[in-house]
Chains A and B, each alone.
Chain A
Amino acid sequence: MRNTEKIPKIVKEPYPHVVVKDFLDEQTLDLVTYALAGLEYDFDESDLFSYLSFGLTDVDHPVINILRDDLGDSSWRKKVASSFGVKPLSKIDLSAYVYGLGSFLLPHDDQVEGRVIAYSLHLTDIEMTDKSGGALCIYEANEVGKSELVKTIIPEYNSLIMFEVSDKSWHQVGEILEDIQRLTVTGWYHS
């Protein structure tokens, strides 16, 4: 179950985003972490990224079903839509990602038809620092594509990061620089 029903005030610049801390209750958190540890992840690599992933959207598993509800039930979707001031959100998709040493996701804006709010629930149960890598880097880009790093969010255990998808929502996951496993459940709220 969710540990909190409150979404803090949305930060507007450079594009709307927010971090919800302590998102899941302790029992659910333990169950989810245990369930995700037992998955057989696929190694995915392209010019844009390198990581391990496992699609969860259609997985029928008691714990994943609870997690899917916690992230995407009607009540929470209404709160997310209201907080960001967007039209009603119909559904979510979700996948688990593991970033190990050398993994990265280069700058991109997430724009795909139907995606309204991107989210990432952080489940790395060790304290990450800027030396670990793996931070969510938020960029502001001008009209010719020159970027400025305006914010770095170091993932905290059990925190849910959300941001509005638009042509401004440039972000990346910094390269992992230490021998850690950065675990997240990530996806989008759709229109």
Chain B
Amino acid sequence: MNRIFNSSDFPFVRLSKFLDIDSVEYNPSFRNEENIGYFKRKQSKAVLEEFWKSSDFVEFLKEVTGLTLSFRGAKHLSYSAGDYSLLHADELEPNRLAIVYDFTKKWRLEWGGYDLYTSPDKEPLICNRDYGSLMIVKLDKGDLSCTRYVSLKAKEDAVIDFVTYIPE
């Protein structure tokens, strides 16, 4: 898996049906979060925060990426119709491993809401919503990411656990 991970401009791997998601207790307590011109969405504590912090999962990430990692943070994000985040870098931790675990049900491509990773010198990477899939992507200094605008026609919300790890 490590060879797959390192085979593109953005080192990444995406694993579908990663967990038994239907058995996960899902009751996030959202609050609105907005910084106009940057993002508009809802946020709560990561649904699987303890799992993302667990030594078993960090060890799994080491096998996939070849990196020794430390947990930095996790949150649960919800993008409803009209919500967005614009391309941004992480000023504090430019080199990081981002994890996106997708809780989004019944999504349609024309609603947008996909994750985009881009950089001036790299092929953009688009990650469409896919219920239960785990995205692991390594981002370096200058790399940008966003969750694209969700159409006003969307009938569902794009919901994810977003987790960050720092290479040691």
Contacts and interface: CB of A to CB of B under 8 A. Distances in A.
Interface of A: 46-48, 102, 104, 106-109, 133, 139, 141, 144-147, 170, 174-175, 177
A146 B152 CA distance: 20
22 contacts: A47-B85, A47-B116, A47-B148, A47-B149, A102-B110, A102-B151, A104-B149, A106-B37, A106-B84, A106-B86, A106-B149, A107-B36, A108-B37, A109-B37, A133-B152, A139-B36, A145-B35, A147-B40, A170-B36, A170-B37, A174-B152, A177-B152
Interface in B70-127: 82, 84-87, 110, 116
B34 interface: yes
Interface string B127-157: 0000000000000000000101101110000
A144 B85 CA distance: 16
Given A47-B87, A47-B116, A106-B86, A144 B152 contact: no
Interface of B: 34-38, 40, 82, 84-87, 110, 116, 146, 148-149, 151-153
Given A106-B84, A106-B86, A147-B36, 19 more contacts: A47-B86, A47-B87, A47-B116, A48-B86, A102-B151, A104-B149, A107-B36, A108-B37, A133-B152, A139-B36, A144-B35, A146-B34, A146-B35, A147-B40, A170-B36, A170-B37, A175-B82, A175-B152, A177-B153
A106 B38 CA distance: 10
Given A47-B148, A177-B153, A145 B86 contact: no
A174 to B, nearest CB: 8
A51 B38 CA distance: 20
A129 to B, nearest CB: 15
Contacts of A139: 36
6 closest residue pairs by CB, A with B: A145-B35, A147-B36, A141-B36, A47-B87, A47-B86, A47-B146
A46 B153 CA distance: 19
Contacts, number: 45
Contacts of A141: 36
A137 to B, nearest CB: 10
Contacts of B116: 47
A43 B87 CA distance: 19
Contacts of B36: 107, 139, 141, 145-147, 170
Q: Which one of B85, B86, B87, B116 has the highest number of Cβ atoms from chain A below 10 Å of its Cβ?
A: B86
A148 to B, nearest CB: 10
Contacts of A170: 36-37
A46 B8 CA distance: 22
B119 to A, nearest CB: 13
A147 to B, nearest CB: 4
A104 B151 CA distance: 9
